[in-house]
Amino acid sequence: MSNKTILITGATAGIGEATALKFAEANWDLIITGRRADRLEKLQTTLISKFKISVNTLCFDVRNSAEVEQAIDSLNEQALKIDVLLNNAGLALGKGPLQEGNIDDWDTMIDTNLKGLLYMTRKVAPFMIKNGRGHIVNIGSLAGMEVYPGGNVYCATKHAVKAISRAMRMDMVQHGIKVTSINPGLAETEFSEVRFKGDAEKAKTVYKGFEPLYGSDIAEVIYFTATRPPHVNMDEVLILCTAQADSRLVHKNQ
């Protein structure tokens, strides 16, 4: 019997990379995707060497529908027997008031967080339906449940992920396809460094004075949701670190 397969977008760092390691450890085959070919190749080498599993890499930008189509079409029939699609690719850019917003940043967030998820799901879901099984896991955020100052467009994209996940569940239920929304709070990944456009010192202050979540914490939850019995669907999960009560209230030891 062949291993199960998970396709992970944004697998080159953070939650995506941690999830790849977690599922590989459990003997799943992987399809890892991202825009940084060198990181994909390095992760592929590590996973194959350490876990002796099958790992396909697809280097493309989820914001480009043509690249999504071409990448998925390049997979062979066996690889297309995808059991889990993890729509993980996403980012925040900037943290200022709406009237000072950078339109290019807005477009990047909307194209990545929203349209990328839609493009991937539209392409992969028909294979799941044909195979008679599947599970779509969307990475949302606490920002999809609350709005905070400076979060405007990013929060809007994650609110939309929440709505799309619910609508997707309605579309997929007749096909027996599971849909789960995973919503992390403060997690120390590349997130803040990307948001502050490479300012590592500024990014570090976000997580100073408390212990945040890590990519591995979210990966554990993703694996749990993906390995429930066939009749169980984890619909929505909110994960916060112990120090965080909501999007604004974080207890810091300083």
pLDDT tens sequence across 92-115: 999 899 999 999 999 999 999 999
Tokens 């591995």 sit on residue: 216
Measured CA to CA, the distance from residue 82 to residue 86 in angstroms comes to 10
**Amino acid making up residue 42:** K
**Which one is catalytic: 148, 154, 207, 214?**
154
Q: What is the mean pLDDT of residues 6-27?
A: 97
What three-state secondary structure class fits 74? coil
- pLDDT of residue 193 exceeding 80, the answer is no
197 pLDDT band, cuts 50/70/90, is: confident
Tokens 């890590």 sit on residue: 214
Query: Do the Cβ atoms of 217 and 173 come closer than 8 Å?
Result: no
19 pLDDT band, cuts 50/70/90, is: very high
**Amino acid making up residue 216:** S
Strand 178-184 versus strand 84-87 pairing type: unpaired
pLDDT at 189: 82
Architecture of domain 5-239 in this structure: 3-Layer(aba) Sandwich (3.40)
Tokens 């099984």 sit on residue: 133
What three-state secondary structure class fits 102? coil
**Would you give the DSSP letter of residue 3?**
P
* Contacting residues for 46 by C-beta, under 8 A, at least 6 apart: none
The reported pTM is: 0.95
Measured CA to CA, the distance from residue 52 to residue 3 in angstroms comes to 11
Let me know if 214 is a catalytic residue: no
190 pLDDT band, cuts 50/70/90, is: confident
Q: How many residues does the chain have?
A: 254
Instruction: Identify the bridge partners of residue 30 per DSSP, sorted by sequence position.
Output: 6, 55
**Amino acid making up residue 210:** F
- pLDDT of residue 14 exceeding 80, the answer is yes
Measured CA to CA, the distance from residue 217 to residue 122 in angstroms comes to 28
1 pLDDT band, cuts 50/70/90, is: low
Measured CA to CA, the distance from residue 149 to residue 191 in angstroms comes to 17
Q: Where are the beta strands (DSSP E) in the chain?
A: 5-8, 29-34, 55-59, 84-87, 135-139, 178-184, 187-188, 213-214, 236-239
